[in-house]
Structure 1
Amino acid sequence: MDFSCELANGIVLRPVHLSDAAPLAAAFQANRAYLAPWEPVRPEEFYTVQGQHDVLTRRLKDLDDGTALPMVLVADKAVVGLLTLSSIVRGAFQNAHVGYWTAQDAQGGGLMTSALAAAMIIAKAQLGLHRLEAATLLHNTASQRVLEKNGFEEYGTARAYLRIAGQWQDHRMYQRIL
């Protein structure tokens, strides 16, 4: 299946490739301080080409196993974001978790709102999923707006849900029935 699609301004949302290791390392290095409050503490190796190659190798195995769909947002061969459908569960659930980030210099133009809308179509039409869920830090209003613009509804708060920026932090939980 082809999970690629073109968004506005020539930006492409597509599954990751091993060849994305260098562009992803560059994107993570350029956005390291910007992403730090929203992400787990990462080892130094994560920010290298080899570190990203290792991450991509695991993500591609998840893709092959049908448990995840990791995708990059690419503009002129540069990675400007990442959107992953992970923890795909089949059977009676047909559910996936959505996680994403956008480069600091690509913020504010609706890019992730469009990318999530495209990912929802892929999730329903190509993956046959019934439900998507997402979690945001309580103070991450930008991410909450992306979800709400795409019809996600808040359904609760998970206490000490994820270890972000070195601390266990509460998250607002969202879902979207497809």
Structure 2
Amino acid sequence: MIDDAHPLGGDIRLRPTTMADAASRAEALTRSRAYMRPWEPVRPDSFYTEEGQRERLAGLLADRRAGRSMPWVLSDAEDRVVGGFDLNAIVFGACHSAVLGYWVDVDYAGRGLATAAVRRICELARDELRLHRIEACTVLSNTASQRVLAKCGFEEFGVAPRYMHIDGEWRDHRLFQRILHDGPMTGAED
């Protein structure tokens, strides 16, 4: 099921990303660049090109094959990318945890898609990956993303001063977590 497409409502679905998404990702990120600027690192212009996204996807997909990442996209009826969702830093051992990051195309923001996708990803992380915990963080001013996380059962557990270099400055971030289960560990325990 983790490799399946998951309908989220209307013609939008959550599915694993592929290298074929490079051009469509570049278009969506370019279209949304100004909208996402307050919450994103400063990126070179090359990041917003098909080649830049090919490089980005090559890294994400290599991490996926190594079990360190699970990248998904939101896609529309024509299979165009309209958002990206990643579980990164997946670790097992005593933690069984991951870090969630996501973005939604400016033309699709405010429709509940992030909430639907994060809920589904939490289910997949719990049921398929057998993760115990997911962490996420937001810039202090990103109240829309904070609402998404709260609706999906994440709880704030702290503030990290100057946590990430976002929009040209070191920014404080709110830290969130969701405990997915407290059952016994299964899977990769080392």
Please report the TM-score for the alignment, with normalisation by the length of structure 1.
0.98
Residue 16 of structure 1 corresponds to: 17
Distance 2:4 2:87 in 1: 12
Q: Per the alignment, in what secondary structure is the counterpart of residue 42 of structure 2?
A: coil
110-119 vs 7-16, which moves further: 7-16
Superposition deviation, residue 2 in structure 1:
2.0
Figure out how many residues of one structure are paired with residues of the other and give that number: 178
Residue 101 of structure 2 corresponds to: 99
Q: Per the alignment, in what secondary structure is the counterpart of residue 108 of structure 1?
A: coil
Matched letter for residue 3 of structure 2: D
Contact 1:3-1:122 within 8 A present in 2 as well: no
Q: Per the alignment, in what secondary structure is the counterpart of residue 7 of structure 1?
A: strand
Q: Deviations over 1:84-132 (max 9, x none)?
A: 0000111010000000111111111111000000000110111110000
Residue 142 of structure 1 corresponds to: 144
Matched letter for residue 145 of structure 2: S
Is 1:90 the counterpart of 2:113? The answer is no
Residue 56 of structure 2 corresponds to: 55
- Identical columns (%): 48
Distance 1:124 1:10 in 2: 25
Q: Where is the helix percentage greater, Structure 1 or Structure 2?
A: 1
Residue 34 of structure 1 corresponds to: 35
Matched letter for residue 158 of structure 1: A
Superposition deviation, residue 3 in structure 1:
4.4
Residue 162 of structure 1 corresponds to: 164
CA RMSD across the alignment: 0.9
Distance 1:167 1:70 in 2: 27
Unaligned runs of 5+ in 1: none
Superposition deviation, residue 147 in structure 1:
0.2
Distance 2:83 2:136 in 1: 17
Matched letter for residue 39 of structure 2: W
Residue 66 of structure 1 corresponds to: 67
Residue 131 of structure 1 corresponds to: 133
Superposition deviation, residue 4 in structure 1:
2.7
Distance 2:29 2:109 in 1: 15
Please report the TM-score for the alignment, with normalisation by the length of structure 2.
0.92
Moved over 3 A (4+): none
Residue 117 of structure 2 corresponds to: 115
